[in-house]
Amino acid sequence: MKRTKAPHARKSAGNAPARFKVGDRVRVKDLPNMFYSRTQMYARGVSGTIAACTYQDLIPEDEAFNQEGRLEQYYIVRFRQKDLWEEYPSEKDTLQTEFPDRWLEPA
């Protein structure tokens, strides 16, 4: 019976170098939805700024189906609330959330 390996025991099929650094402008890709995703609809197609490079890990679309794909760099991206919700009343407020490398493209 195939078992899921614990994080420290995983043999990665390779890892991808970080394409972005803190301060870079990025846009969240708007891929189709099917079965599973942790990239929120509200963030798709919206541009923000890399606030932190966090860790490397499997991407959720692979892990949710027990596939041991390559490890990818994750980033915390900061958005202006006004860019996410056009009716948002304050220029100042922000929102941060996290994405793996393949969900981002240079803005």
CB of 89 to other proteins, least distance (A): 8
Among candidate residues 39, 40, 44, 42, the one with its CA nearest the CA of residue 27: 44
Alpha carbon distance 103, 77 (integer Å): 11
CB of 15 to other proteins, least distance (A): 15
From CA 91, how far away is CA 97, in angstroms rounded?
18
**Which three-class secondary structure state does DSSP give residue 84?**
helix
Instruction: Phi first, then psi: give them for residue 61, nearest 5 degrees.
Output: -65, -30
* Contact between 31 and other proteins per CB under 8 A: no
Task: Give, as ranges, the residues between 52 and 91 that touch other proteins (CB under 8 A).
Answer: 52, 54-55, 57-58, 60, 63-66, 74, 76, 78, 81, 84-85, 88-90
The footprint of other proteins (CB under 8 A) covers 1, 3-8, 32-38, 40-42, 52, 54-55, 57-58, 60, 63-66, 74, 76, 78, 81, 84-85, 88-90, 92-100
